Amino acid sequence: MNLRNWFDTSFRLRSDEPALEWKGATYTFGEIDARSNRMAHALSARGFQRGDRLALYLANSIDFIDIFLACVKLGVIFVPVNILYRERELSHILSDSEPKLFVTEKELPALRAEAAAQPADLRETPLDGESPAALVYTSGTTGVSKGAILTHNNFAVNASNLLDAWRISSTDRFLLALPLFHVHALGNGLHCWLFSGCRMRLLERFEHEKAAAEFLDFRPTLFFGVPTMYVRLLDTPPDTAREIGRGMRLFVSGSAPLPAQVLEDFRKLFGHTILERYGMTETIMNISNPYDGERRPGSVGFPLPGVQARILNEDGQEVPDGETGELYLKGPNVFAGYWRREDATRSAFVDGWFKTGDIARRSPDGYYTLCGRRSDLIISGGFNIYPREIEEFLMEQPEVAEAAVAGEPDHRRGEVPVAYIVPRGGDCDTAALEARCRENLASFKCPRRFIVVEKLPRNALGKVQKHLLGAAAQ
């Protein structure tokens, strides 16, 4: 079965029911189906065939959904691109994925016009569940990002698991404010909506000043967020928070660690215990706290059905409960490999188990807790940042001799990047450096501070000791 077959339950059986609220208008499932059929015809008319790639650089919108669904229906591989990316970041993704079309705001009016004149129904494209549905670029540990190939089955298994695990049904009202270009909103958000046939209100983005008003207006029962969103929601006045809490059924958090204190403060304010879960672009969702039963602060819960997890030490031996090691995963949710990167795919797996790079431990009663990461990945507001990418950019600047970037704890965003710079002789104008970062890198990757140091702390092998960077700046 492909995703269209799964979505048809909502498209056919609920065709007259409200499906999507977008910018004040409401669309039925039948309308969503027809809009994407028209878009699919428009893409076919442009020569799109099964297996071609379409890259999309758009903020959340109904057009995003139309184009995604059109790709699914045609077997075209969808490549969502982070709209905060700049030229430098885009050029790699485009040259690597070789899309037949790169859809930006500029391209959209023409596509919309071409779709308007097309028929509302569409013949089925023969596609099996192992066909690639999307290529999602991860921020690469080696500096270049890699396209994770997610199949129709990967998305389908994930959505069915989440519907069961989190009791999502057509009676839910779902508020989605996460960016659709990431797997959190795409794999969990869109797919849970379409699989369950619930009513979804989509926001262009999460704006913390307007969030409470949006909740009160839409009265959702279901919300998915990153920890930064929950930290922001803690500013809600107590009466409003209680009112929001009364109508809600479930708040889910993921993409970065949810501090236990935030879980506790949120429970007091909204009267709900946030359900924390763990996922990755390459695997979609893996581990989740239970719907019934203890949602343990600081823990991500139990493996979802069909997901096998094991924790290995440096020698590849399974560790006893309570001890930490690297988390490995296996299951029908795990991606099909990296696009055109056989070497990277080979090294991502050991005996068929995917190496997550996350360090975890399991308690004797089966709860998993994430304890950190093997790489020096920084997660800021739920967006991933690999320091190496920023360091490489900084080192290309004429006034920089050496640079190291590390994460610094931040109450709102979890972590923020900070740059330590060794200048190439003389002074270093950090304001000018910052301006160049802003021009060339996504905003969340721009170091929040630039600290000029005489030298970087290195070990005997010459490797920068990131944990000593703070002291080097004294």
Q: Crossing angle for the helix pair 62-74 and 3-13, nearest 10 degrees?
A: 120
Residues 33-92 within binding reach of ligand MCA (CB under 6 A): 59, 83-84
Beta strands in 289-338 (DSSP E): 302-303, 308-312, 325-330
Please, is 185 exposed, middle or buried when counting C-beta atoms within 10 Å of its C-beta (0-12, 13-18, 19+)? buried
- Shortest Å, Cβ 112 to ligand AMP: 30
Of 293-352, which residues contact ligand MCA (CB under 6 A)? Answer: none
| Least spacing, CB of residue 377 vs ligand MCA, in Å | 11
The residue within the footprint of ligand MCA, chosen from 6, 78, 102, 206 (CB under 6 A), is: 206
> Pick from 224, 335, 384, 416: which binds ligand AMP (CB under 6 A)?
384
Nearer to ligand MCA by Cβ, of 54 and 186: the residue is 186
Instruction: Please report how close the Cβ of residue 60 comes to ligand MCA at its closest, in angstroms.
Output: 7
Nearer to ligand AMP, 236 or 281 (CB): 281
DSSP-derived 3-state class of residue 86? coil
Residue 382 touching ligand MCA (CB under 6 A): yes
Radius of gyration for the chain, computed over Cα atoms and rounded to the nearest angstrom: 23
Distance CA 60, CA 128 (A): 28
**Residues 233-272: x where in contact with ligand MCA by CB under 6 A, - otherwise, as a string:** ---------------------xx-----------------
Place of tokens 């080192």: 395
Q: State how far Cα 259 lies from the chain centre.
A: 19
Point out which span in 47-55, 86-94, 370-378, 380-388 binds ligand MCA (CB under 6 A).
380-388
Q: Which is nearer to ligand MCA, 53 or 182 (CB)?
A: 182
Beta carbon of residue 43, minimum distance to ligand MCA (angstroms, whole number): 25
Among 85, 383, 386, 420, binds ligand MCA (CB under 6 A): 383
- Footprint (CB under 6 A) of ligand MCA, residues 428-447: 443-444
- Range 340-359, binding ligand AMP (CB under 6 A): 356, 358
Residues of span 249-268 touching ligand AMP by CB under 6 A: 254-257
Q: Tell the residue number behind the tokens 């970065």, with chain if given.
A: 256
What DSSP assignment string belongs to 244-269? HHHH--EEEE-SS---HHHHHHHHHH
> Where do the DSSP E strands lie in 152-194?
173-176
- How far apart are CB 224 and ligand MCA at their closest, in Å? 9
**Strands across the sheet with 146-151, in order?**
101-103, 53-56, 77-80, 132-138, 146-151
Q: Which of residues 156-195 bind ligand AMP (CB under 6 A)?
A: 183
- Which residue matches tokens 């669309």? 27
C-beta of 157: minimal distance to ligand AMP in Å?
17
Of 182, 256, 177, 243, the C-alpha closest to 210 is 177
* CB crowding 68-93: b at 16 or more within 10 Å, else e: bbbbbbbbbbbbbbbbebeeebbebb
Contact positions vs ligand AMP (CB under 6 A):
138, 183, 254-257, 276, 278-281, 300, 356, 358, 370, 373, 379, 384
